[in-house]
Every structure is written in C-alpha cells, then in structure tokens.
Structure 1
C-alpha cells in the first residue's frame, strides 16, 4: 500500500508541557485524528483503526473511552436503513 508522509513542526515546550516525546505525541495525534474522522463519518471503523496505528479491538476500546457512539444513526437515516432492510428481505 502506498503511503504519504505528513510533517509539521511542534515547539518543544508543547511536548514538555504534555510530558511526551515525539513518538508518543505522534501516536496520540494519530489516535485523536482517527477518532475525530470516525465520529464525523469521514473514515470507516477499519480505516480509522489503521490511521490510529492500532488494532480494531484497541480502537473499539478507544471509541468507548472517548464516549463516541460506534453506531450513530440520525432518526431519518435509521428509518431509511430499516425500510431498505425490510424491502431487501421481503418475499
């Protein structure tokens, strides 16, 4: 799989304030980005776990720890999905 490298600078005092090294900070940013993009329906569960660089099981735990709904349908979306499922399974 082809990858892209993203680089940006962070002031050292930010790392010091967070008591993190570059590697820890990078992993945390990847996780926060993945959680946000999953919550906003921009990435699927599997792709968000890949972005975070963790297993799907660990990402599911992070979703729960951060109070993010794994399945988040708006009422109208849920109605459409239920109607579609009923139609698909009617004989």
Structure 2
C-alpha cells in the first residue's frame, strides 16, 4: 500500500500530550481516521481491516471497544431477517 503524508492543523497544546514522531502514535492516528470513515459508512469493514492490516474480526473487536457497533439494527429487525432467511431456505 502506498502511503502519503498529510498535514493538519491542531491546537499547539496537543503537542504537550502527543509525540508525533512516535510510530505507535502515528498508528493510532491512522486507526482513528479509518474508524471514523467506517462509522460514517464511507468505507467498508473489510476495506478498513485491509488498510490497517487487521483481520475483520480484530477490526470489529477494536471498533466495539471504541463504542462503534458492527450491527446497527434493532433486535426485532434481526429476528425478522432471520425469519426471512429461514423462509427462503425452505
């Protein structure tokens, strides 16, 4: 995967808390960008996992830790979908 550099403006006080040259912080910032794109439905879970070099399961687990749900439907909707699939399989 090709990488590009981007430049963003942030409040100067953030520099007191973040070591921007630290590889782990750079990785966290990339992850946050990807997670936001997933949450906004701009990229798929599979694409996000690919970008971050994670399995889809690892990505879903990480998203859950951040409060981003993989399933965004109500329980009743899920039950209705299961019934529909069962009817189709008969």
| Runs of 4+ off more than 3 Å | 13-16, 84-90
Q: How far apart are 1:59 and its partner, in Å?
A: 1.5
> TM-score scaled to structure 2, two decimals?
0.61
Q: State the aligned residue count.
A: 88
Which 5+ residue runs of structure 1 have no aligned equivalent? none
Structure 2 vs 1, CA of residues 40 and 71 (structure 1 numbering), >3 Å: closer, same or farther?
Answer: same
CA RMSD for the aligned pairs? 3.3
Match of 1:42 in 2: 42
Which digits, 9 at most, give the CA deviation of each residue in 1:38-72, with x for residues without a partner? 11111111111223x24123322211111111022
Q: Give the TM-score normalised by structure 1.
A: 0.60
Flag the structure with more relative contact order, 1 or 2, with Cα contacts below 8 A and sequence separation at least 6: 1
The residue aligned with 2:64 is: 64
